[in-house]
A = this chain, B = another copy of it.
């Protein structure tokens, strides 16, 4: 295994140290327990956004801490959920009294630990709402989770809800918007190569020299199928069609009822894409695929969407939710209404995403 790391046990710690030194204007890092938080936290009067998950997906989430996006991010070890005490301590550090929104990718460990953190925070009198992102159309259940996995829409939700919080949305409004973004967003990924988790020291899976995996998860979880290497156009069309033609998806999620300190079972149904929709398109590198190749994908994606009457009105193209050095890419489409576009366009100032500020 060849990586730019030092001791195996210190991989995450050393990356966080580097971030803290590189970006003191944006963020600070707490090491015991580990979390990244806005340099100016708590921000008076503002709902605080906290996300987190296993490391290895950088810049998500720590790189999205800053004005107009996250207030806090809790990194686990590589591809391993962070612990409830990280989330709880982070929530305490960033809470300004207006409450804390947890944005949680749907992986079993993340879900359980954020639930426990919500209860701990509530016991301290911190208002918490927790919204689940489960946007991956590729597989219904996987090694890591029940239901759909949470992937690319997470980045878009953090940007959009982050801007809304900055604009003065209260906790319930932030939660509603985040839920809408999740219901409007769908993703699918593919891998050209595996990645190597440092602690494992060998590829997570093996792919033949002429094979790719369609529907891969961000931890290298098995996807839908392995196929022979195809052209960028073929791969893009296959994935875009699955996303665009995805059916309404109903699931029951546990949502924290805020003040009442209890969980409610809530039924949610997605809104599939229709001709006439405007969307934000996010073409993401899994880490090792260069942005040049993403542009070939984007060109075809634009064409496939147009043929379905779906118009891409904004885009994000690059490595934002990665799987270490894995080669491959994912596509996320997010149906965009006026509210979503307004907050997408708003200024953001984080190490990983920055415009207008």
Q: Which residues of B contact A229 (CB under 8 A)?
A: 2
Whether A168 is near chain B, meaning CB under 8 Å from some CB there, is: no
Contact A322 B18 (CB under 8 A): no
Looking across the interface, which residue of chain B has its beta carbon closest to that of A23? B315
The verdict on A50 contacting chain B, using a C-beta distance below 8 Å, is: no
A209 close to chain B: CB less than 8 A: yes
Measured CB to CB, the closest approach of chain B to A198, in angstroms, equals 10
A2 and B192 in contact, given A290-B319, A299-B17, A302-B21 (Cβ under 8 angstroms): yes
Interface residues in A, total, Cβ within 8 A: 58
The stretch from A92-100, A178-186, A231-239, A257-265 touching chain B is A231-239
Given A287-B288, A291-B319, A355-B354, A209 and B15 touching (CB < 8 A)?
Answer: no
Instruction: Judge whether A327 and B288 touch: CB under 8 Å.
Output: yes
Closest residue of B by beta carbon distance from A285:
B319
Hey, which chain B residues are within 8 Å of A5, CB to CB? 231-232, 293, 296
Residues of B contacting A288 in the complex (Cβ-Cβ under 8 angstroms): 287-288, 290, 325, 327
Q: Smallest distance from the beta carbon of A235 to chain B beta carbons, Å? A: 7
Say if the beta carbon of A289 comes within 8 Å of chain B: yes
Residues from chain B with Cβ under 8 Å of A307 in the complex: none
**A22 adjacent to chain B (CB < 8 Å):** yes
Number of copies: 2
Q: Would you give the shortest CB distance from A197 to chain B, in whole angstroms?
A: 12
Stretch at the interface among A51-59, A104-112, A132-140, A272-280: A51-59
Proximity string of chain A (312-328) to chain B, C-beta cutoff 8 Å, 1 when within and 0 when not: 00010101001011010
A236 CB to closest chain B CB, in angstroms?
Answer: 8
A297 to B322, CA, bound (A): 19
Q: Known contacts A289-B325, A324-B290, A327-B2; decide if A18 and B297 are in contact (CB<8 Å).
A: yes
Q: Mark A14-26, 1 if CB is under 8 A from B, else 0.
A: 1111110110000
Which chain B residues border A189 with CB–CB below 8 Å? none
Once the chains bind, are B232 and A291 in contact (CB under 8 Å)? no
A19 CB contacts on chain B under 8 angstroms: 295
Do the beta carbons of B299 and A21 come within 8 Å of each other? yes
Once bound together, how far apart are the Cα atoms of A5 and B212, in whole Å?
Answer: 14
12 contacts between A and B (CB under 8 A): A2-B192, A2-B210, A3-B232, A3-B293, A4-B235, A14-B232, A14-B299, A17-B299, A22-B299, A290-B319, A292-B324, A355-B357
